[in-house]
Amino acid sequence: MFSSVLDKRHCKRAFLSKSVPRDLLANVLRASACAPSTRNAQPWQVAVVTGQRKDALARRLCAQFDRGVAQQADYEYRSSRSDETAEARAREANVGVLLAKGYNGNDRAARRAHLRDNLGFYGAPVEMIFHLPVDARPGQFLEMGFFVQNVMLSLIACGLGSCPQFSVAGYPDAIRAELGLGPDRLVVCGLAVGYPDESMPVNRFQPGRAELADYVQWHDQAPPATADPY
């Protein structure tokens, strides 16, 4: 059942060196383009980076990080308003990943090493960079989200794993320079792709998920009788 594919979708952060056939990636991306978009606009674009070009991109991003260049994505990722529930989940997930990698969850140096590993795409043989027009509106981000989710689920169905990476988008100018993208392109995120190394504990870590009642509200009762608002 398709639900079994959904259940398997969680971030992989260690990959085998085995290369991924281009035809397989092309089939995944072709199928994923069935994602919905308003008026069939299909605004998504994706750069598939492999081999020496992928290694060069990783070196460029890591060099920015090592020099202490502040990350500045092309867009704001989340609201500045505090949400304690979301923050608690984030802290738990971050510590869990670090512990699964053998780090002390409260060690700042370990956190920095993990972030640098992220910019190296966790050693994945493929990195995908998703980008939109520079003047993209919120609805186009929604459509890109449909497309990226299709990609991640299709990869699982093909025996592959992935890890979506907003942190990679923290150095958009470096990405545009390395891949020859123009200033008219907005970098949305990266996606590390490959055959997951299931012998690594980090790939067995799965953060907890909220209970259904925490995010679903059922509206199936008649509203209380009031004066007709229409």
- Confidence check: pLDDT of 106 > 80: no
In this structure, is residue 210 part of a structural domain?
no
What pLDDT shows up at residue 79?
86
d(CA 140, CA 181) in angstroms, rounded, equals 19
pLDDT band at 16 (very low <50, low <70, confident <90, very high): very high
In this structure, is residue 228 part of a structural domain?
no
Closest CA to 165 of 118, 125, 209: 118
In this structure, is residue 90 part of a structural domain?
no
The three-point CA angle 193-15-76 to 5° equals 45
- Confidence check: pLDDT of 1 > 80: no
With pLDDT > 90 as the criterion, what percentage of the chain qualifies?
A: 86
**Cβ–Cβ < 8 Å for 15, 54:** no
- Confidence check: pLDDT of 205 > 70: yes
What pLDDT shows up at residue 215?
96
**Cβ–Cβ < 8 Å for 32, 143:** no
Residue 79: both structure tokens together: 């609201």
Give strand pairing partners of 50: 126
pLDDT band at 227 (very low <50, low <70, confident <90, very high): low
Q: Quick one: average pLDDT of 112-117? A: 94
Q: Quick one: average pLDDT of 77-81? A: 86
- Confidence check: pLDDT of 229 > 70: no
Domain assignment of residue 49, given as a range: 2-73+121-205
d(CA 190, CA 117) in angstroms, rounded, equals 13
What pLDDT shows up at residue 59?
98
What pLDDT shows up at residue 52?
98
Question: Which amino acid belongs to residue 76?
Answer: E
- Confidence check: pLDDT of 133 > 90: yes
Domain count for the chain, please give it.
1
**What is the tens place of the pLDDT at every residue in 137-182?**
999 999 999 999 999 999 999 999 999 999 999 999 999 999 999 9
d(CA 147, CA 40) in angstroms, rounded, equals 13
Residue 177: both structure tokens together: 């320079």
pLDDT band at 80 (very low <50, low <70, confident <90, very high): confident
Of 7-11, 27-31, 106-110, 137-141, give the lowest mean pLDDT range: 106-110
In this structure, is residue 116 part of a structural domain?
no
In this structure, is residue 223 part of a structural domain?
no
In this structure, is residue 78 part of a structural domain?
no
Q: What CATH code is carried by the domain that includes residue 61?
A: 3.40.109.10
What pLDDT shows up at residue 31?
98
Question: Which amino acid belongs to residue 207?
Answer: P
In this structure, is residue 31 part of a structural domain?
yes
In this structure, is residue 229 part of a structural domain?
no
With pLDDT > 70 as the criterion, what percentage of the chain qualifies?
A: 98
